[in-house]
Amino acid sequence: MLETPAVLALWPEREDAVVHGRDAIAQFFAQSFQARSGEGVFEDWFRSGRYFSDGRLLIWEYPRETPKGDQTDIVESMDLENGQITHHRVYWGWVGFNKLHNAINKARQ
């Protein structure tokens, strides 16, 4: 399961921002990167390399402030079972939210 408001930017007719199943998630990522390339939503993101994991939860951040300036700021959180991702959540910070909000509004027009 993938849960991110970016779903609404790609599929504005949806009522929720949750994608279920490997095939649907793969389709979401393929269409997202194709549709949003060049809009600054899915640029090459900087990470510090730090993360947290206790074997069942994995979390890392793409911070707003980077050595090259501001970027889309998100935190990714994954629930893991037997080495597999069972639930993937993406939380957007204020820079990312503004970009995502603009993309959602554009998609709904």
Structurally, how many domains does the chain consist of?
Answer: 1
The mean per-residue pLDDT over the stretch 24-29 comes to 92
User: Do 80 and 64 contact (CB within 8 A), yes or no?
Assistant: no
Helical spans, DSSP H, in the chain: 6-10, 22-36, 94-108
User: Do 95 and 73 contact (CB within 8 A), yes or no?
Assistant: yes
What pLDDT band is residue 77 in, cutting at 50, 70 and 90? very high
Percent over 70 (pLDDT), the chain: 92
Q: Which long-range contacts (CB under 8 A, 24 or more apart) does 19-25 make?
A: 25/88
Question: Is pLDDT larger for residue 42 or for residue 102?
Answer: 102
CATH of residue 36: 3.10.450.50
Beta strand 57-62 pairing with 51-53: antiparallel
In which domain, by residue range, is 75 found? 2-108
